[in-house]
A and B are shown apart, each in its own frame.
Chain A
Amino acid sequence: MSMHDRARGVMTRRDFLKTSARISAGGMGCAFGLRPGKGYADTPGVAGNRVVWVHDGQATSWDGITGHYRDYVDQARVNSMIERGVKVLTGQPTSIAAWQQLIPGYSAGKKVAIKININNSAGDTYIDALPQPVNGVIAGLKSIGVGESDIYVMEPSRVFPRAIGDPILALYPNVLIWDVSWGKTYGHGISYGSSDPSLTIRHSLYPSLTDSKLPDQLGEATYLINMPILKGHAGGTQITLTFKNNFGFFEGSNISKFHEFCFPSSGAYSYSGNPLIDIYQNTHVKDKSVLIIGDALYAHRISNSGIPEVWNTFGGEFPNSLFFSTDPVILTFKEFLEKRLDASSATDFKGKMVDWINRGHRRIVLDLSLVDFVDSSGLGAIVSCLKTLGEGGDLVISGIKDAVLSLFQLTRMNRVFQIFPSPDAAIKGLSD
């Protein structure tokens, strides 16, 4: 069943019993059904706006104490995760076909820029980019004939630590590493000297920002692969396995100001606009972004300056996950990781659901199989979604835990919502 089915006609709630689309696998905020077993997750919205989640519990083996976590990553398993991810993302039967689809029209001399997220300006134990997923991507690129010297691995705002650069160059000695241009570099010094006006981003709506200059080497590239890491950020951004990774392209004082626009506690923060949009609209970012791979092998929920943490969401283990998308504006993954629908998250949930409904989705299966806690605010938000759908649509529940079901029983809302054991059962039951 397509995740993007839309029922456009008027439909009674009874008619809903005949057919159904569903929000599946993390579709609508709050971890509603993020299931690694299925190997993928879908975001709502237009076709192609999809996130593939690949998990391998044996990808990492760090015990949390010994040595550096970076040294406890299984390269072969990571390569295989990347192969799986690109295949599911593209729907191609082989990894080579997938990479050919992702990097269309490559010929020798065309550059592929890989923007990684080196976070480690202050300490080497912090959550940071790993070399192994970068190597997995390079292996994929090479499998379709991309020359090593056409591959740029870049972090324009940081000096590459040897511990990240050396394992890449050990396997792929002719790959070019580009890092910060001030003072010292590990690789080649990134430059901002081009007179090409398209490399300058103007922030006409944000007077506090001067023009931002993109690096020449991004200008040279034909393709951009963005590789953020799963981490929060000191100062209050939410999880930033995100487009925010693009901040690192820039030199100068705008970087810290960009961050302020992402901190809800900051006066610069706004729901309605953000200079990220200026960056996204630049042709070198928008038109070259062919793939985003979120590196969540290790992760930190809250901070960019902490040692990787185990997460309850991932069964009390390191996430051991990679996320794949071709959509460069996956704004935040936090929604997919939420396990509680309560007074803190209900408004956000409701807003996203209403957006989803207003885009034409009328029949929704809300999979709560990973949701541990719903309170009356969360329940009220679900009821509100049902009302928004009106008589022309419906919303049913699947996978609800017994404890959470008891809330529906206490409030007699179990008489309002149809409840199925699993999303598949909901689809099947509704189709019969």
Chain B
Amino acid sequence: MDPGEAVSALQLRLDSRLANVRLLGLAVQAFCTYLNFSDTEAYQVQLALVEAVTNIIRHAYDGEPGQAVEVTVTLHPQCLAFRVVDTGRPLPALNPQTLEFDPHDLANLPEGGMGLVIMHRVMDQVEYRRAGGMNILTLRKDFPPVGRRPEAR
């Protein structure tokens, strides 16, 4: 889907520390609330971003602080888009993941590997590419149905 022309955009840049992911999460939550997403939708969009950036800090930057993660939030007429850029190690392809487990098999319940699944289930589009030494992740969330849409500004 063509997201249409950007209405407005904001760039956030954070140092690669997990404590900063909280601040990003709170900002994303605020955007979503403003855009009339429901509590659960706003939580889920926040969750997707938190998972994405946590993943970058842990895997692209190996948990090292002092590296930059840049998040551009763009408001389009029909959707909210996020572009997350880092200069760390290439990430494994972000293919849709499955999460299969037997809920009664206690010892084999997953404790990790859920972040990508969450991103794909929550967002309407997830794309990853590597370009110019950068990991570029784009996430798109379509607006709620008509009636709960924000007014155009």
Contact = CB atoms under 8 A, between A and B. Distances in A.
Given A380-B110, A401-B39, A412-B103, 15 more contacts: A340-B25, A343-B54, A373-B43, A375-B51, A375-B115, A380-B111, A387-B106, A387-B107, A403-B39, A403-B40, A403-B44, A407-B43, A410-B118, A410-B121, A411-B117
Contact of A415 (B103, B114, B121): B103
A390 interface: yes
A376 B106 contact: no
A386 interface: yes
A344 B50 CA distance: 11
B18 interface: yes
Contacts of A410: 44, 117-118, 121-122
A354 interface: no
Contacts of A376: 51, 112, 114-115, 118
Interface residues of A, number: 28
20 contacts: A342-B54, A343-B18, A375-B50, A375-B51, A376-B115, A379-B114, A383-B109, A383-B110, A387-B106, A387-B109, A402-B40, A403-B43, A404-B43, A406-B44, A410-B44, A410-B121, A410-B122, A411-B114, A411-B118, A412-B99
- Give the dominant DSSP class at A's interface: helix
B148 interface: no
8 cross-chain pairs, A with B, having the tightest CB-CB distances, nearest first: A403-B43, A415-B103, A376-B114, A380-B111, A403-B40, A344-B18, A343-B54, A416-B103
Interface of B: 18-19, 21-22, 25, 39-40, 42-44, 46-47, 50-51, 54, 57-58, 99, 101, 103, 106-107, 109-112, 114-115, 117-118, 121-122
A391 interface: yes
Interface of A: 340, 342-344, 373, 375-377, 379-381, 383-384, 386-387, 390-391, 401-404, 406-407, 410-412, 415-416
A372 to B, nearest CB: 8
Contacts of B42: 403
A387 B121 CA distance: 26
